[in-house]
Structure 1
């Protein structure tokens, strides 16, 4: 007598791309016996999502290069049952059954599961603006095809350059704006807040604003779209922008409708709530990726971080959990990077805005080092900002804007945060050095040196946004740059006493406390130490004139004059 065989354990995954496909392929590598079904409502289950803007811009020329795997290739290599153009319309957690609907013909069917993985991603924010239906999004390959076709039509329809309006100044908005400009379009970018890239602090975002304007982008900050017509976009400020093409890149929200209908609980930020092993409150239902809430690695608060790296890792770890291996989620630092017309912008951890809003004390350090040894050809200046807990010396976050080398400095700092290193520990890191790649004192080491000086009280600093109040209170500003540098641009009211002459001209210093500064802070530090040795109290303007001149403080003075 032949006994009936036990059917294989079936795991159904809703949603492919980063999280879903990482889970599916890892599951197969761990367990050959599993029945793995991936359900994806678009026509593409595995593609390079982050490369989509660059295909629109013509930087990536082959559409096929974005398509990493197909249902056929995934079936051949991993024996996965991948069903594209198929939507899950309902989940019955009691019966452990999902209802499927084919997008092409609407035919419905049901599919049982032993374990269900939700990886539905996030959906674009679409505000109720008259005419918003004209705006295109960029989340999927289908979106990319529509946008590429619209760009080709717009640029081919007129003798002169076509016009585009991008709504939203986040990562995707900036990438889209750059790539539309690369296609020869005249681009306007509208952002409702007073800066692009919310993770940046204002003085760092100002560098990005300058690059956008230098590249011809018509930047509208602190403004909002009120209506969209066939060829124009109207703003709350009264501005009317030409728009053969409109792209909405306002942000994304977790895709949670299917989950909530099945009784899955959401967290305080509106994403799917999961424990450290990605289990939801519904038995046998798990969730990963952009749809789920994460834990901030520095505040322990719930947060939403729609990043591919995080989704990929979550899919891999969940596969381990489902196969009985150890694994749990990690807190997130929100480490991210974007290219803006050749300018690299990278962040990790918290920014000063969030820290100040939370009432947390913070030590702030700005530096402007060269990307590699300055005497080696091609060195570029970068701007780095480090945020430190003044009580514990813990690194709270960092931002960097510049050219070559920005990525590796932020990655080193993100790794230092994850490893529990203090800001002073950065001084002692042994980092690879050769003139084409760095300096003997790497920019990361320099951050540690500055922190050590501040932490031990060897020197004191003052921030760009504190300078006006200090001057109003009677503190004199001493500019220790050369006379030529001073003549080319200076802080109003500053006194020029070049560093190399300062020792002999101490009698010319005003009475009372002083603020000293140079171009980037290095000579300012030397001046502050010289003055301390002669019994004079001073503070060094953090980041020097280079930080101050791009800040809102300098902008307000320019507007007033």
Structure 2
């Protein structure tokens, strides 16, 4: 028998680990078990399937089980790993399709069990018409529900809640967004949130902030959300209050969790158990600014985790560098990109932080399609070290955030940003790029 790698979970982190390990070491036997009926898909595209901008769920699939098999990786959808005996190096698998249980051996194991939606402890959440959006099955259920829905309430104004608010409006629904904090996108600073709120209102999304859901009314099917500020009629409710790492299997087999509640790993994605690795939304990363474990459940991070784990298992040198918390999303016509720490977060972490927030233009003032671009820089007083930033505007202009992310990885300063040779041409930037204008103001 050859050396066998078993991967538990076949979406971003798991699929990347399996494919990379097999490419780097073709002698490995690689098997993937995935509880759901789908593997290797782009979950981040689900809101755009709901909106109709992406034509089907199938369009989100990167590689099918058949394509994996052609590459020498055996992938089994609808197979759930229910137990692992680490001492015997065996796992117990339940086939949902066949209704049977069997055992499988492993030499290396990758836990890529992802994250699960948080279900708030609100009476009535078990009724029909109440949904989450995490899996392809969730997406299929919501697509069916949209055929008859008129009014939707969304609990939570983070990335998913905001993206789905747009999708529901494009499907013609009345939408109310309910957020317990004092603003949408509460993890960032108020100026950014204000721009998001304005865009939501402009497109007919009713935004309630500082409210808590008390109950979901209905007699088996949801009819309304009762809140601390009143009642919101709704025949469709999306729970988008967050996710948690799905660590039940890991804990049962003795894998250590870190301070975030996700699986603790080193830079090679190794856990505390020899031969056991973790990747994707179930695993921690290291935050380069904070210098400690951090949980960032995003698709690009999951793929990097998996690629690192796969290479290490195959005998290659690989390390996951860490994260600075970069993210980007769009809500209607507005792109919102953030990286590093907000001013509120930086101050709470003990940094002597300051910020500048400017409005500029994303291209030359005489260019026909020029549009406003807002830039926030968060930096350390005295040293000028960059701690974070945000870019808000139209279209691809917000990808300027990558410049700030790169500087954060290099412990760059406002002065370093000022010295960068950034590209200029009237269709793409004013002669002074908005990032440089912000840096000038921060430098004083």
Q: TM over 0.5, yes or no? A: yes
Q: Does 1:445 align with 2:433?
A: no
Task: Write the deviation string for residues 339-365 of structure 1: whole angstroms up to 9, x where unpaired.
Answer: 011111110000111122233211211
* More displaced 10-residue stretch of structure 1: 335-344 or 300-309: 300-309
Separation in 2 of the partners of 1:308 and 1:327? 19
User: More relative contact order in 1 or in 2 (CA 8 Å, sep 6+)?
Assistant: 2
- Counterpart of 1:63 (choices 57, 65, 85) is 57
In structure 1, the residue corresponding to 2:167 is in which secondary structure? Answer: helix
In structure 2, the residue corresponding to 1:433 is in which secondary structure? Answer: coil
Query: Which residue does 1:186 correspond to in 2?
Result: 174
Q: Does 1:39 align with 2:33?
A: yes
Query: Which residue does 1:320 correspond to in 2?
Result: 311
Q: Contact (CA 8 Å) 1:197, 1:205: kept in 2 or not?
A: yes
Query: Which residue does 1:112 correspond to in 2?
Result: 105
Task: Write the deviation string for residues 388-423 of structure 1: whole angstroms up to 9, x where unpaired.
Answer: 111321110001222134422111111121123211
Q: Does 1:246 align with 2:246?
A: no
Return the index of the structure with the highest Cα Rg: 1
- How many residues align? The count is 439
Q: Does 1:75 align with 2:69?
A: yes
Query: Which residue does 2:18 correspond to in 1?
Result: 24
Q: Contact (CA 8 Å) 1:424, 1:451: kept in 2 or not?
A: no
Query: Which residue does 1:145 correspond to in 2?
Result: 140
Q: TM-score, normalized by length of structure 2?
A: 0.96
**Offset, 1:369:** 1.1
In structure 1, the residue corresponding to 2:27 is in which secondary structure? Answer: coil
Unaligned 5+ segments in structure 1 are 1-6, 155-161, 455-561
- Counterpart of 1:200 (choices 188, 193, 204) is 188
Task: Write the deviation string for residues 106-129 of structure 1: whole angstroms up to 9, x where unpaired.
Answer: 300000000000000000000121
* More displaced 10-residue stretch of structure 1: 78-87 or 353-362: 353-362
- Counterpart of 2:280 (choices 273, 289, 312) is 289
Query: Which residue does 1:268 correspond to in 2?
Result: 259
Query: Which residue does 2:344 correspond to in 1?
Result: 353
Query: Which residue does 2:217 correspond to in 1?
Result: 229
**Offset, 1:199:** 2.9
Structure with the bigger percentage of helix:
1
The RMSD of aligned alpha carbons is: 1.3
Task: Write the deviation string for residues 187-239 of structure 1: whole angstroms up to 9, x where unpaired.
Answer: 01111111111331012201111111121111110101111123433333241
Query: Which residue does 2:81 correspond to in 1?
Result: 88
**Offset, 1:141:** 0.9
Separation in 2 of the partners of 1:434 and 1:351? 30
Task: Write the deviation string for residues 21-74 of structure 1: whole angstroms up to 9, x where unpaired.
Answer: 111111111111110000000001111211111111111123321122211121
* More displaced 10-residue stretch of structure 1: 94-103 or 222-231: 222-231
Separation in 1 of the partners of 2:265 and 2:310? 15
Q: How does 1:370-389 map to 2 (within 5 A)?
A: 370-389=361-380
Separation in 1 of the partners of 2:183 and 2:38? 35
In structure 1, the residue corresponding to 2:388 is in which secondary structure? Answer: strand
Q: How does 1:418-433 map to 2 (within 5 A)?
A: 418-433=409-424
- Counterpart of 1:174 (choices 158, 162, 176) is 162
Q: Contact (CA 8 Å) 2:15, 2:306: kept in 1 or not?
A: yes
**Offset, 1:282:** 1.5
Q: Contact (CA 8 Å) 1:233, 1:243: kept in 2 or not?
A: yes
- Counterpart of 1:333 (choices 324, 327, 333) is 324
Q: Contact (CA 8 Å) 2:152, 2:175: kept in 1 or not?
A: yes
**Offset, 1:83:** 0.6
Separation in 1 of the partners of 2:267 and 2:61? 31
Q: Which runs of 4+ in 1 moved over 6 A?
A: none
Q: Does 1:211 align with 2:199?
A: yes
Unaligned 5+ segments in structure 2 are none
Separation in 2 of the partners of 1:352 and 1:427? 20
Separation in 1 of the partners of 2:183 and 2:236? 23
Structure with the bigger percentage of strand:
2
- Counterpart of 2:96 (choices 103, 119, 125) is 103
Separation in 2 of the partners of 1:340 and 1:277? 35
* More displaced 10-residue stretch of structure 1: 255-264 or 355-364: 355-364
